[in-house]
Amino acid sequence: MNKLLTILKSRKVINAIITLITAIALSYGYNVSPEFKAAVASVTCEIVECTE
């Protein structure tokens, strides 16, 4: 379980999840700016204390 949490806290995994959500939003016709995507990634990493 600890290994799974360590993997999920990875900055690369967080960015991949946000990219996936952005792709889903684009498929529904929503446009997500790169600045918003970066801001969400930054806030998410602050909340979950991302690792490199």
pLDDT in tens, 10-51: 889 999 999 999 999 999 999 999 999 999 999 998 888 887
Total number of domains constituting the chain:
1
Helix (H, G, I), strand (E, B) or coil at 51: strand
Q: Which domain range does residue 24 map to? A: 2-48
Task: Give the Å distances, CA to CA, from 23 to 2, 10, 16, 26, 34.
Answer: 29, 20, 10, 5, 12
The whole model's pTM is what? 0.79
Confidence of residue 3 (pLDDT cuts 50, 70, 90): confident
Give dist(CA 10, CA 7) in Å, integer: 5
Contacts 24+ apart (CB under 8 A), 23-26: none
Q: What is the pLDDT of residue 40?
A: 92
Helix (H, G, I), strand (E, B) or coil at 10: strand
